[in-house]
Amino acid sequence: MATYARQDVSFVQGEGAWLEDDRGQRYLDALGGIAVCGLGHAHPAVAEAVARQARTLVHTSNLYRIPLQEALGERLCRASDMERVFFANSGAEANEAALKLARLHGHRRGIRRPRIVVMEEAFHGRTLMTLSATGSAKARAGFEPLVDGFVRVPWNDVAALEALADEPDIVAVLVEPIQGEGGVRIPDTGYLSAIRELCDRQGWLMLCDEIQTGVGRTGYWLASEHDNIRPDVVSLAKALGNGVPIGACLARGEAAEVLGPGTHGSTFGGNPLACAASHAVLNVIEREQLIQRAGQLGARLREGLHDRLSGHPAGVTEIRGRGLMLAVEMNTPCAELVSHALNGGLLINVTAGNVIRLLPPLTLTDDEAEQLIERLDAALRAWHHVNAEEQA
Ligand SMILES: *Cc1c(COP(=O)(O)O)cnc(C)c1O
């Protein structure tokens, strides 16, 4: 079904930050399959782990113990300062678990119609419940009746949240520490800690959607670490398997004890194949210190983009980001930039209409970072040239 407006290009193989199409053209991938391929394409350690596990044991179901899953759960809890994990196969499913958990938590406290606070411009997935939590009215349109029980407030607005303090039946706040699809929006310092304090004061759960920001992308294992806060529930997916589908909903404290036998489940979730891939991802991240690398290279790349692109005739208004989650904001809608970049051998994404989003692999070399800047500059010039001609 035509659920995506696709670019007319077919990639047939990849290596690191590079993809090759069916005509032998090479592209520098500054999108990484939408924040998924943190280790780049066809990483040998992941390929080897998946191949070995496929020859050993792919799936048994969650009716039996899965040692690789238990060990992965322990690693993720240690990295995230959490206590328990539910394994799923995608981001939407990880959030779905977080939202169900919050509702059940409410019911156990005698709240019959629990409500969850969500943000404008948020993106949480495409299943009916995660879509209902998503901010975009356009994405929600046509799927009514949506799942109710959400209260939507403006993003990055502490006062709007404080105004909800006396509302009955609220059980949780769901927030992305940096809005990804919403345009790589970084909240003001203090916003996330204000949510944390409000949740503590009201007895609400703080749910952090770290599906795009987690697994080292922003220079910390979790982006919420930038603000020194510890959520009650964290959802992860995207980069967790470097392309092998896996999602995880992590929880601590009371939240960790909510879901029990019969309350939730997944046939595939946390199967040996997906867990083997994820172990390999974590091994490489640790061995090559890629989280520190994301922080350092990200800062340098941001600086390089700034030097090269600020004051650009194409109309660059802001360059921002954390680690290797970067954005170049334009003063006009710029969706056509994607095909100009593609023609110049660069894969980028435009989100929120006028925000160029860069999510390159954490393994990007210094030289590739330079090439990224070069190619982006060239794409901006080509796009600007066409626009100028159209106006003339
Ligand atoms: C991608 C994303 C999701 C949805 O993940 P899927 O794997 O596509 O279901 C949810 N939340 C955020 C913040 C995301 O970036």
Residue nearest to ligand 1 atom 6, measured at CA: 91
Please give the full DSSP string across 177-222, using - where no structure is assigned: SSBSTTTSBPPPTTHHHHHHHHHHHHT-EEEEE-TTTTTTTTSSSS
* pLDDT of 338: 97
- 224 alpha carbon to ligand 1 midpoint, in Å? 17
C-beta separation of 21 from 47 below 8 A: no
Lookup: tokens for 59: 């799936």
Give me Rg for the CA atoms of the chain.
Answer: 21
Q: What b/e sequence results for 9-44 when a residue is b if at least 16 CB atoms lie within 10 Å of its CB, and e otherwise?
A: eebeebebbbbeeeeeeebbbbbbbbbbbbbbbbbe
Catalytic residue positions, numbered = 123, 209, 238
- Give the helix/strand (H/E) hosting 382: helix 366-391
Which positions ≥6 away from 51 have C-beta within 8 Å? none
Mutate to test the pocket of ligand 1, among 211, 217, 246 (most ligand atoms within 8 A of CB): 211
Work out whether the CA dihedral 129, 135, 140, 145 comes out positive or negative.
positive
C-alpha to C-alpha distance for 97 and 234, rounded to whole angstroms: 10
- 286 alpha carbon to ligand 1 midpoint, in Å? 24
Residue nearest to ligand 1 atom 10, measured at CA: 124
For residue 173, what are the β-bridge partners? 117, 206
CB atoms under 10 Å from CB of 320, counted, come to: 18
* pLDDT of 157: 98
Give percent helix, percent strand, percent coil of the chain, each to the nearest 5.
Answer: 40, 20, 40
Q: Among the atoms of ligand 1, which is closest to the Cα of residue 127?
A: 9
Q: Among the atoms of ligand 1, which is closest to the Cα of residue 238?
A: 7
* pLDDT of 343: 97
pTM beyond cutoff 0.75:
yes
* pLDDT of 391: 83
Report how far apart, in Å, the C-alpha atoms of 194 and of each of 6, 21, 158, 251, 258 are: 40, 47, 7, 20, 25
Q: Which domains does the chain have, with CATH numbers?
A: 11-30+289-391 (3.90.1150.10), 45-287 (3.40.640.10)
Q: What b/e sequence results for 94-105 when a residue is b if at least 16 CB atoms lie within 10 Å of its CB, and e otherwise?
A: bbbbbbbbbbbb
C-alpha to C-alpha distance for 248 and 240, rounded to whole angstroms: 9
| Structure-derived torsion over alpha carbons of residues 125, 259, 225, 364, reported in degrees to the nearest 10 | -50
Question: Cβ < 6 Å from ligand 1: which residues?
Answer: 90-92, 95, 123-125, 176, 180-181, 209, 211-212, 237-238
* pLDDT of 388: 87
- 381 alpha carbon to ligand 1 midpoint, in Å? 32
* Peptide bond connecting 145 to the previous residue in cis, omega within 30 degrees of 0: yes
C-beta separation of 135 from 119 below 8 A: yes
Mutate to test the pocket of ligand 1, among 31, 93, 124 (most ligand atoms within 8 A of CB): 124
- 261 alpha carbon to ligand 1 midpoint, in Å? 26
- Which residues does the chain have with pLDDT short of 50? none
- 335 alpha carbon to ligand 1 midpoint, in Å? 21
Nearest Cα to 123, choosing from 312, 351, 368? 351
